[in-house]
């Protein structure tokens, strides 16, 4: 089975069932398949060959779904690109992935036109909105007059399907290359883990270009013939309204999304009773924040999905029944993928409390980094893909991530793992958000710095913070410096850009 084939199967078996909802637009699975076929046939007529890459620079929309499945159904490789990237960053990806076509939202037309002379391989440009631009193909016109027949391209489950570029929090992003089989395997993992089924109405508020929303929710929902409810922008109160209006049953968000939703002033007026399960992931969440989320949403029907792009995304999961007693943990084994912690020598960590790197093995993992054999060799060893995330295991086998390998702080010869300190800081009622970073120190090697944002009208001094923490963590872990900020810098996945903070702190 291949991703495009899932759409065609839905059209055959449940043609009149609602497949996609976007604003006031509603499409049955038959209509979705016709739109997908039109995109496929237009790309093929434009010269697309099997294995060619097509980049999508698009916000969440009905068009994103049609284009994504249209690419893979035509035998192409879809390359969804972060819509928040600066033009030079996007240009790098368009060239690095060898894209032969680019589909973009109208808002990007000026920068696409500017970068056009520097795009080495792209021969076809499609604007995805209502605008009409000289020399660019309007996708709406393609869909209105296109060929809705099945494209007839034979796509094998081991053909290449996606290139997903990593967040690039520490340098140039790398493209994780996948095959259709990886996604289909992951579909069964998600069906087993969070119970996605045909009656589900899945709200897509997190970016669809992101691995979690795309491969953990869009593809599984399509496999099972669920209904996809799509919102272009994450606006907290609008998301709550849509959950109520569309009777949404499954929703996934990064921790920061839940934080913003909880801050909606009249939160309790929204009827969220239709939601069977919430999923959160893409960034660590402190135990106190998890507990606050359960209380606010009046539910423990949450799943922590703790994984990384190169694994599918695959990793570990925390079930609803464990959300309270294991709050803050990433979880444990997920079906179809093996997980373990390894030490510096690559040996399995078996003792509780000992720090190791999370590694994953299974059919969901990437084929490798596109055009980067050295990075692939470094990331995949003996079939295990290395996450770069450090974690500890408790006596029941539950893994809690404590830091990134590159973010671990060594001060005075002692290792400090940021999440342990962050969890302790979050117990302070004045703290809204906080992260721990290390900056160079002439005597200690590195010193521990807390960067925090506070609740409204709150004030906090370094002395108060140290006093608060001294009974909670060892003295060498307590921050020696406190920086108060309005908000923390994040990438679109919700991960705090610690390297930016380190660079800023070193200058000050």
Q: Phi/psi at 503 (nearest 5 deg)?
A: -60, -45
The arithmetic mean of pLDDT across residues 484-489, rounded, is 91
Among residues 370, 404, 438, which one ends one of the domains? 404
For residues 425 and 329, state if they share a domain: no
How many angstroms separate the CA atoms of 314 and 27, rounded?
30
Burial class, 51, CB count within 10 angstroms (exposed 0-12 / middle 13-18 / buried 19+): exposed
Q: Which domain holds residue 210?
A: 192-404
48 and 196 both lie in a single domain:
no
Indicate which CATH number applies to the domain containing 496: 3.30.300.30
Same-domain check for residues 312 and 237 = yes
CATH of the domain at 143: 3.40.50.12780
398 and 418 co-located in one domain: no
Classify residue 50 by burial, with Cβ atoms within 10 Å: 0-12, 13-18, 19+.
middle
Residues 266 and 394 in one domain: yes
Edge-to-edge strand ranges of the sheet holding 481-484: 431-441, 445-454, 481-484
Would you state the pLDDT for residue 218? 98
Same-domain pairing of 392 and 449? no
Residue 167 included in any domain: no
**pLDDT value at residue 286:** 79
Name the one residue in this structure whose structure tokens are 């669809």.
Answer: 208
Query: DSSP code of 349?
Result: P
pLDDT in tens, 163-218: 999 865 445 789 999 999 999 999 999 999 999 999 999 999 999 999 999 999 99
- Whether the link from the prior residue into 32 is cis, omega within 30° of 0, is no
The more confident residue out of 281 and 12 is 12
DSSP assignment of 203-236 equals EE-S-TTSHIIIIIIIHHHHHHT-EEEE-SS--H
Provide the pLDDT for residue 169.
Answer: 47
154, 158, 163, 165 alpha-carbon torsion, rounded to 10°: 160
What is the average pLDDT across 234-260? Answer: 95
Confidence at 492, pLDDT banded by 50, 70, 90: low
Which of 357, 383, 404 marks a domain boundary? 404
pLDDT in tens, 47-85: 999 999 999 999 999 999 999 999 999 999 999 998 888
Which band of pLDDT confidence, cut at 50, 70 and 90, is reported for residue 495? confident
| Residues 400, 434 within the same domain | no
Q: The tokens of 170 are what?
A: 């520490």
Angle at 316 between CA 313 and CA 57, to 5 degrees: 20
pLDDT score for 493: 62
User: Is the per-residue pLDDT at 131 higher than 90?
Assistant: no
Same domain, 368 and 472: no
Q: Which residues pair with 483 in a beta bridge?
A: 451
Boundary residue ending a domain (106, 126, 155): 155
Asked whether residue 278 falls in the same domain as residue 378, the answer is yes
Q: Is residue 414 pLDDT above 80, yes or no?
A: no
The predicted-structure confidence for 498-508, as pLDDT tens digits, reads as follows: 878 888 888 77
DSSP state of 477: G
Q: Which secondary structure element, helix H or strand E, spans residue 331, and what is its range?
A: none
Alpha-carbon gap, residue 72 to 153, rounded angstroms: 10
H helix intervals, 285-381 = 287-297, 373-379
Number of domains in the chain: 3
Would 24 be classed as within a structural domain? yes
Residues 390 and 437 occupy one common structural domain: no
Q: Are residues 360 and 436 in the same domain?
A: no
């Amino acid at each position: 089975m291949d991703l495009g084939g899932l759409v065609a199967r839905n059209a055959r078996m449940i043609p009149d069932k609602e497949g996609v909802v976007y604003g006031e637009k509603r499409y049955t699975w038959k209509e979705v398949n016709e739109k997908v076929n039109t995109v496929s046939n237009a790309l093929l007529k434009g010269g697309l060959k099997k294995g060619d890459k097509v980049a999508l620079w698009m916000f969440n929309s009905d068009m994103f779904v049609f284009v994504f499945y249209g690419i893979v159904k035509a035998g192409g490789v879809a390359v969804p690109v972060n819509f928040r990237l600066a033009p030079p960053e996007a240009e790098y990806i368009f060239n690095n992935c060898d894209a032969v076509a680019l589909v973009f939202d109208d808002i990007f037309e000026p920068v696409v036109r500017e970068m056009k002379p520097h795009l080495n391989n792209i021969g076809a440009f499609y604007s995805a909105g209502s605008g009409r631009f000289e020399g660019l193909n309007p996708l709406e016109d393609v869909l209105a007059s296109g060929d809705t027949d099945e494209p007839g391209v034979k796509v094998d489950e081991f053909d290449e399907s996606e290139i997903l570029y990593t967040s690039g929090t520490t340098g140039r992003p790398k493209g994780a290359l996948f095959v259709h089989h990886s996604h289909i395997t992951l579909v069964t993992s998600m069906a087993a883990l969070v119970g996605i089924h045909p009656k589900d109405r899945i709200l897509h508020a997190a970016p669809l270009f992101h691995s979690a929303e795309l491969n953990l929710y869009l593809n599984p929902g399509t496999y099972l013939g669920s209904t996809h409810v799509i919102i272009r922008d994450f606006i907290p109160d609008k998301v709550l309204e849509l959950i109520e209006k569309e009777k949404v049953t499954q929703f996934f968000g990064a921790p920061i999304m839940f934080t913003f939703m909880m801050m909606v002033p009249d939160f309790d007026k929204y009827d969220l009773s239709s939601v069977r399960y919430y999923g959160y992931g893409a960034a660590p969440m402190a135990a106190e924040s998890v507990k606050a989320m359960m209380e606010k949403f009046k539910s423990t029907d949450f799943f922590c999905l703790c994984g990384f792009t190169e694994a599918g995304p695959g990793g570990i999961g925390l079930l609803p029944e464990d959300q309270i007693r294991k709050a803050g943990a990433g979880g444990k084994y997920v079906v179809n993928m093996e997980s373990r912690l390894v030490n510096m020598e690559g040996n399995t960590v078996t003792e509780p409390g000992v720090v190791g790197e999370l590694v994953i093995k299974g059919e969901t993992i990437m084929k490798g980094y596109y055009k980067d054999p050295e990075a692939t060799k470094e990331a995949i060893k003996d079939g295990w893909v290395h996450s770069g995330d450090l974690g500890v295991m408790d006596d029941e086998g539950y893994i809690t991530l404590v830091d990134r390998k590159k973010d671990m702080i060594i001060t005075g010869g002692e290792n400090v793992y940021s999440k342990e300190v962050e969890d302790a800081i979050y117990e302070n009622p004045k703290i809204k958000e906080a992260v721990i970073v290390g900056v160079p120190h002439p005597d200690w090697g590195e010193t521990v710095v807390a960067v925090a944002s506070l609740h409204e009208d709150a004030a906090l001094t370094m002395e108060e913070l140290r006093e608060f923490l001294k009974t909670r963590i060892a003295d060498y872990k307590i921050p020696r410096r406190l920086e108060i900020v309005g908000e923390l810098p994040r990438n679109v996945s919700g991960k705090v850009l610690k390297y930016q903070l380190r660079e800023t702190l070193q200058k000050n």
